[in-house]
Every structure is written in structure tokens, then in C-alpha cells.
Amino acid sequence: MTHTIQPNNPETTPAPETSDAPAAGAAAPAGTSLSGALNGAVAKASAAVPAALKRRVPKYSDLAPLMQFKKPEFSRAAKLQRASTIWELRDMAKRRTPQAPFDYTDGAAEAEITLRRAREAFLDIEFRPGILRNVSSIDLSTDILGKPSRLPVGIAPTGFTRMMQSEGEYAGSQAAEAAGIPYTLSTMGTASIEDVAAAAPNGRNWFQLYLWTDRDRSLELIERAAKAGNDTLMVTVDTAVAGARLRDVRNGMTIPPALTIKTVLDASYRPAWWFNFLTHEPLTFASLSRYTGTVADLINSMFDPTLTFQDLDWLRETWKGKLVVKGIQTVDDARKVVDHGADGVVLSNHGGRQLDRAPIPFHLLPDVKEAFTRDNSDAAIILDTGIMSGADIIAALALGADFTLIGRAYLYGLMAGGRAGVDRAIQILEKDMTRTLALLGVSKLSELTPDHVRILGR
């Protein structure tokens, strides 16, 4: 004969045996029917239930405090405020933006392996928090390249930004100014150096440079950037030729966007984007006034495949402000550009948009930090690519970055809601960083160490 034994819950105390109820199989006391015995047991059980657990018809006075129905809000501002993550802003951006400009932002080179790995790198970490620390006040401020920043993140250079949303670079620079963080204008930005400086006169503006074969044109841009008050020049060096951005190829991406049958159909359920695009000034660039053609042709016309470290020497002699080299993907190159006068490096694989299967900046970070420490170098280490949350930023800082940059993360906000969307993206990241630091038991960035983060599987 098989007996089934129910396991006991180790967190409960067995109830003491009582003789109030008849044992199973025992006869009821003489003179008591079986139904009477059951009714008595039920009555005793009911008497043992606390009054608060007895069922009753609810009173209106009980329900009134619970019935706080809010008027539905469908405005863009309300929707932006409901977004709690950068991913939610991305979803909004995709609904509001035609496929070609959205894919230009969202996509990467070839099979997009590099971008996927960059994002996975931030997922494959383990935070190691400290407890019993006073985290009642969190300080996210830092210094980068000789000046303060309210947050350890700035806006990276992005091309064709007004194509994503009509406010473009103006929204990005003004949001950065309001947040007290740096903004970087791209050589291929769709607003002039002077206009961006005028839009955010009290902001910290940096300028990103693609060196051309025609050094006179490059020199003109450098002089304009200096005159407009940009204190940092960020030269990009990972673009000998344009990467194979297959989404752009499939979408027939052109500057300006062409009105084909496909784009007209795409516009039919995104009329606000087209209305804004067609009723604002045509796209202009920081480096040339007009351009018509494919994105790939424009990129290849801008890049100089003959660049060497000697060109970096020329740039160091020409530019008197802070000089940062963007596109560093090996420890040796990080050390070399510092030897050639760079004040900082940006560990970046161009957001996965150039060489697919390129090194992941987050994985490279500890090695570069170790090399700079051995060299007694005080060059700044800045990291971009793959950042989609404030926790990503904190992880990078813990492993040795001095600062970070966001590209797609702010562009999703821009496409979702213009200037207000960029503001919301920065707010989301700031809230993430504040919460992550507090849960790590850290009250300021200088307290972060590599012990706070472990890269899983390494």
C-alpha cells in the first residue's frame, strides 16, 4: 500500500493537536447526528476568523478613496513623461519617423553584429553593491577635459540630425545646455557651427571633425569652430571609407529624402514628420551648404583614406583647445594618439556603423585604463557605443571611463518628441544613474571602482 506524504512548509509552525473535532473515522458523540457535528465545526471555524476577514457588502465611504479616476492624457508631452526607458522612447520614435531616417539611426553595418555585441556587453555584467552606506545624497557631477559637467555623459556627434526630426541639432544643443553637459556638433550635422552656438550660447559646445584631403577646407572649419567658442575638437579616425550600412542601401537613403512611391506611402501614416520637414528650411551642413545624393556618396566624399599620425601632429599644432581622437579600438592606438598630442580618446567603433565584428569599447576599456595608468597618463578616456541606460554609464565609469557619450539614445528622444524628447532621454538616464549609484552604496562617482562590476564569463 502506498502512502502519500505532503511536505511541510519549513517557515510555518505545525498547529497543536486538539480534541475539539472528532478524529477521522471516529463516531460522533452519542445523541449527535453527523450533520450536527459538521455544523458545529463550521460555527467554531467561523468564530475563529478575525472580523477584518469576514465578507461584507462594501460601503461607499470605503470605496470613495479608491475611485480616483484620472482624465486620460494623449498629448505628446504626457506620452514622453510616461516613457521610463530609452527603449520606450525608441518605440515612440519608430512610430513617428519614416523608415529611412529611423533606420539610419537605428541600424549599423552589414549584419549589425558589432552593435548587437556592444549592447550585450552591458547586459553581461554583474553589479556588486555595498551595503550600510549613506546614500541620502547622490552627486553625479564630474570634470571632463578641464571643465565641469553636471552629469558624466555628453551628446555624441551625429550626422543629418535634422533629417531625424526638424529641430535636430538645435534641440540637442539646447537640451545639453539645460542639463549642464557637453554637446558635440558633427561635421555632417545639419546646422552650421555658428547657428548651433547661437542656439545654446551658454552651453559647452564641442566640434567633431572629419579631416578632408583639402586641408584648407579643414582649416576653415577648425577656425570657425574656435571662433564660435567650441573648446574641444573631436577628430574621428575610424572612417577610411564608409561602412556597408545595408538598411540605408535597401531604403535608398538620400539627402534630402526622395519622394518616391515608397516614401509617400510611408508618409501617409506619419504626416507630422513630413509636415515639419517640408515647412522648415532645407537641410544645411556644418561643412557645405547643400548636397543632393546618396548618404554613402556623401560620406565617401568627406572621408580621407590617406590619414596618418602625421596628420594628427598637424592638427595638434593647428588647434589650440582640447583635442580628442574618436574611433580608438586598440590599446596601442590609444597610447599612440596620446603620444601625438591628444588630450583624450573616445573608445568607439562608430556605433557599429563602420567595421562589423569590430572590438567592443566596453570590453576594451579596462585594458586602456590599465595602459594609461602604467604610462602615468592623465588623458581622458571617453566611451560610446551601446549605451541605453544610466546603469550602462555607471558600469563604464566603474571600469575606468572618465566620461561617456550617447548618440542613438538621444536621437530616439529627438524623434519621439523634439527638444522635449531629448530632455526626457537625459532625465531617464539621470534617474537611472542616481538609482544605480544608491543601490551600489555609492554617493559620488569618485567612489566607483572596478570592484563594483564584474564582466560575466571573464
- Those residues of the chain that have pLDDT short of 70 are 1-49, 52, 69, 74, 254-261, 263-264, 267, 283-302, 458
Taking the CA atoms of 183, 187, 192 and 193 in sequence, report the sign of the dihedral they define.
positive
| pLDDT computed for residue 224 by the predictor | 95
Look at the block and give the residue holding cell 569590430.
Answer: 358
Instruction: Return the closest-CA partner of residue 235 out of 328, 333, 114.
Output: 328
Contact partners, residue 51, CB within 8 Å, separation at least 6: none
Residues that are catalytic: 350
CB contact at 8 A, 206 and 321: no
Q: What is the DSSP secondary structure assignment for residue 65, as one 8-state letter?
A: G
CB contact at 8 A, 315 and 323: yes
C-alpha cell belonging to residue 363: 570590453
CA angle 33, 37, 42 (to 5 degrees): 145
pTM attached to this predicted model: 0.83
Helices (H) and strands (E) in the chain, counts: 19, 14
- H or E element: which one contains 207? strand 204-209
As a whole number of angstroms, the distance between CA 342 and CA 317 comes to 11
As a whole number of angstroms, the distance between CA 201 and CA 228 comes to 9
Across the strands, what pairs with 154? Answer: 405
Taking the CA atoms of 299, 301, 306 and 311 in sequence, report the sign of the dihedral they define.
negative
| pLDDT computed for residue 436 by the predictor | 97
C-alpha cell belonging to residue 107: 541600424
pLDDT tens, residue by residue, 257-312: 565 667 667 767 787 887 887 788 776 666 655 555 566 666 666 677 888 899 99
| pLDDT computed for residue 63 by the predictor | 75
Look at the block and give the residue holding cell 590599446.
Answer: 331
| pLDDT computed for residue 39 by the predictor | 57
As a whole number of angstroms, the distance between CA 120 and CA 95 comes to 25
Name the burial class of residue 332, with classes exposed (0-12), middle (13-18) and buried (19+) by CB atoms within 10 angstroms of its CB: exposed
| pLDDT computed for residue 4 by the predictor | 42
Contact partners, residue 374, CB within 8 Å, separation at least 6: none
One DSSP character per residue, 222-249 reads HHHHHHTT--EEEEE-S-SS----HHHH
Q: Is the bond leading into 256 cis (omega within 30 degrees of zero)?
A: yes
As a whole number of angstroms, the distance between CA 284 and CA 233 comes to 21
As a whole number of angstroms, the distance between CA 137 and CA 20 comes to 59
pLDDT tens, residue by residue, 88-126: 999 999 999 988 889 999 999 999 999 999 999 999 999
